[in-house]
Structure 1
Amino acid sequence: MLRSLAGAGVLALGLTACTGSDDPADAGAPAPGAGGGTGRRLGAEWEKHTRTFMAWPASENVWGDQLADVRKDIAGLAAAIGAHEPVVLMARPEQQEQAQQACGGDVEVIPLAVDDLWARDTVPLFVEEGGKVKGVDLNFSGWGNKQEHGNDGKVARTLLERYGIDRIETPVTAEGGSFETDGLGTLVLTESSVVNANRNPGMSREQVEGELKKALGVTTVIWLAGVRGEDITDAHVDCLMRFVAPGVVLLDKSYPGTPADVWSRSADQARSVLENATDARGKGIEVIELPQPDPDGITGRGDAFVSSYMNFYIGSKGVYLPRFGDTRADDRAQQVMKEHFPDRAIVPVRIDTIASGGGGIHCATHDLPAVGG
């Protein structure tokens, strides 16, 4: 999620973040040495899921008069994913019935207290170990104590207990949106969102990397610089770049002709790093730029509006990406997804209110992998 910290009024104070022979799922087997010596593996999102977790926006204190609209966005997204795979949506007990009515019968709504919709960051990061799925509790802290998180800070532990999933502890404080992986031992993240005194005071990059290798079982960590202090997440990687197959990433690119800013410079730095990096297999990485839509052609608005196509979600049978209203750019993004995921449905979803709050589809979803998927 890339919500601006400046000039967002009530939102700035309360809103948080976030395959066949041609299909990447065929590349889902661990690479030699994957597991970092721990026997753990952090799988790729394109591997099979047991379910998708989401959360119901809970409070007018966060969303103000946008609460009804953002709930419509979440309900529509949950229903779209629920048509293809199981969706479990967490909602405060007193809001469970309302959420169920809004989302429809393809979505299971469970009573579990949350503060906001950003399941990507509050739900544990799941790994495979010993033939079981386990959950790494990343100590969610409201993006470095930038907002209240009394309920969301407990989601990881509570969810693991509910589903009987073993909990893995780590001294690192981070969020699920901080990390991107190929499922073969490669981890990409921004230094700005993890090696930061607001999450991990006193920890060096080397120390953070060592702990992540132990907790997640990754063997190769690629660091991007990111951006500090310009959004609540300190520039999560999932709005900047995403793997679509081992050795292939999509990279966000500003709309052609727009003035260079801190975000475009961050993307330029990321491209330089990725083009010169090698993954856990010792192979190079192909970088494919995907331009943002025309700012004058989108239907959403707001200082914190996220118009990056990178914040898509790869489901077991579908790929869900935002539809911003710039037909040419939207169609191009859908075609790119179809080229990389030919056996999945490509499902564009309008999420203008979620995006106006600085997040996207990936921020609002979190996959529970199927063991051996």
Structure 2
Amino acid sequence: MDPRTPSRRSVLRSGAALAALALIEGCSSDGGEEPAGAAEASAPAASPAVPSASAAGWAMPAESSPHTRTFMAWPALEEVWGDQLPAVRQDIAGLARAIAGYEPVVLMARPEQAAEARQQVGSTVEVLELPVDDLWARDSGPTFVTGPGGLAGVDLNFNGWGNKQTHTEDSQVARRLLEHYTITRIQAPVTGEGGGLEVDGEGTLMATESSWVNGNRNPGKSRDQIEASLKELLGVSKVLWIKGVAGQDITDCHIDALARFAEPGTVVLHRPGADTPPDVWTTASDQALEVLRSATDAKGRTLRIVELTEPDPDRIQGYGKDFLATYLNYYVVNGGVIVPRFGDRAADDKAAAVIAELHPGRKVTQVSINTIASGGGGIHCATQQQPAAGAS
């Protein structure tokens, strides 16, 4: 990738990105003052007359619950991927085919790019002609909740991770997708992304303050206000907040690259290698470990923490400063788990074995995603599940 090209872990240094950084510097968990006009620029449109998930008896199910399908998106823009666009499309095609071995996959693609997408993914993947900008369906797509009356999708008002990347089409993906499938839409009173949410399916949510209590998404809102909105939207009763890292990657440190629920009461935590020099990312992992060790979930359980060490960067082809080298960004599908393979054979096999043990009865499939990872994302970032109605 051209070093001048923005990626998921590179904060853009011009235009809207500078404004976003200014907002980050003024953001705190107590909802400090924001620059004039910030609220107007980032505030979501008025919500339609649809009840919140909590009021309707809906809740966000665990990823391990049964899926109807997986949504993905075909990367569209050379301005984002530069000369790596063909390679990242190959990664997405390979990932889509792997998931299609377990459950239906719907790949969103711009109408003028749909033919190429169909050719690359083959007949096992459905291509839906729907305009997108980039591949990060976890963030641009809806977050689903289920319960009495079936299924609803929460539109989190995707704004390009705080206006850091082009999102003209991606900002409309959640609405358009829900309209296409005639699924009830709940427009959130907060702005964020699906990668910033991790639930156990039994009332507990994990999230980072850096990606939610942040002026580039929710100017003027305190952590307590955002927490109240997330509880209503997702039907959860307890939020475990981890500090995270603001302003160092395009997501502001999403939880799905740091800590995940393997099952209720068990959290998998990303850990740096033993020889990794201290930096903001090792500090974030250490802080998450400290918080989770002393935390209890919505059911009052002390958490079991399983540490998953990152691969050796010296053994990874294409590794660069923006590479997301974490095994945490795996994806649970019907009957299986899709796990990244980076090229450090010993670390890849160890991670696959740990994840298999954490998800008994599911087949582990390893998929090479180094071009996706070079853009600062992973398998989980590139996928969004539609749970079966009534899943829990």
After TM superposition, the score normalised by the length of structure 2 is 0.86
Deviations 1:99-153 (A, max 9, x none): 0110011100010000000000011110013231100000000001111210000
Moved more, 108-117 or 314-323: 314-323
Instruction: Kindly indicate whether residue 160 of structure 2 is the aligned counterpart of residue 155 of structure 1.
Output: no
Equivalent position SS for 2:128: strand
What is the CA–CA distance in structure 2 between the aligned matches of 1:307 and 1:62, rounded to whole Å? Answer: 20
Amino acid at match of 1:115: D
The answer to whether structure 1 residue 356 and structure 2 residue 361 are counterparts is no
Match of 2:209 among 181, 184, 191: 191
Structure 1 match to 2:118: 100
In the alignment, structure 1 residue 45 sits paired with structure 2 residue 50: no
Indicate if the aligned counterparts of 2:160 and 2:166 stay in contact, CA closer than 8 A: yes
Q: Deviations over 1:237-280 (max 9, x none)?
A: 00001111100011001011111111011011101111111111
Distance 1:363 1:355 in 2: 10
1:20 alignment partner in structure 2: none
Name 2:358's counterpart in structure 1. Answer: 340
Residue in 1 aligned with 2:263? 245
Shift of 1:37: 5.7
User: Would you say 1:121 and 2:139 are equivalent positions?
Assistant: yes
Structure 2 residue aligned with 1:309: 327
Equivalent position SS for 1:40: coil
Is the CA contact 2:316–2:343 (under 8 Å) kept in the aligned structure 1?
A: yes
Q: Post-superposition shift, 1:62?
A: 1.2
The amino acid of 2:10's aligned partner reads: L
Alignment partners' CA distance in 2, 1:63 and 1:5: 12
Query: Structure 1 counterpart of 2:384, which letter?
Result: H
Letter in 1 for 2:334: S
Q: Does 2:262 match 1:257?
A: no
1:220 equivalent in alignment to 2:230: no
Is contact 2:11-2:250 (8 Å) kept? no
Q: Distance in 2 between matches of 1:273 and 1:226?
A: 11
Count of equivalent residues = 349
1:198 partner amino acid: N
Q: Note the residue ranges of structure 2 that are not aligned, 5 or more in a row.
A: 1-6, 19-52
Query: Who is 2:221 aligned against?
Result: 203
1:57-72 aligned within 5 A: 57-72=75-90
How much does 1:72 deviate?
0.2
Where do residues 244-323 of structure 1 align in structure 2 (5 Å cutoff)?
Answer: 244-323=262-341
1:6 positional shift = 5.6
Aligned position for 1:19: none
Question: For 1:250 and 1:170, how far apart are their aligned partners in 2?
Answer: 28
CA distance in 1, matches of 2:335, 2:115: 28
- Once superposed, what is the RMSD of the aligned Cα atoms? 1.7
Tell me the residue number matched to 1:325: 343
**Cα drift, residue 36 of structure 1:** 5.1
- Residues 327-372 of structure 1 deviation map (CA, whole Å, 9 limit, x = unaligned): 1100110101111222111011000100000000000000000023
Identical positions, percent:
57
SS at match of 2:314: coil
Cα distance in 2 for partners of 1:99, 1:317 equals: 26
Residue number in structure 2 paired with 1:5: 10
Superposed displacement of residue 38, structure 1: 4.8
**Structure 1: gaps spanning 5 or more residues:** 14-34
TM-score, reference length from structure 1: 0.91
Deviations 1:28-76 (A, max 9, x none): xxxxxxx756512110001100000000000111111000000000000
**In 2, Cα distance between equivalents of 1:346 and 1:156:** 29
1:112 is matched with which residue? 130
Q: Which residue in 2 is equivalent to 1:76?
A: 94
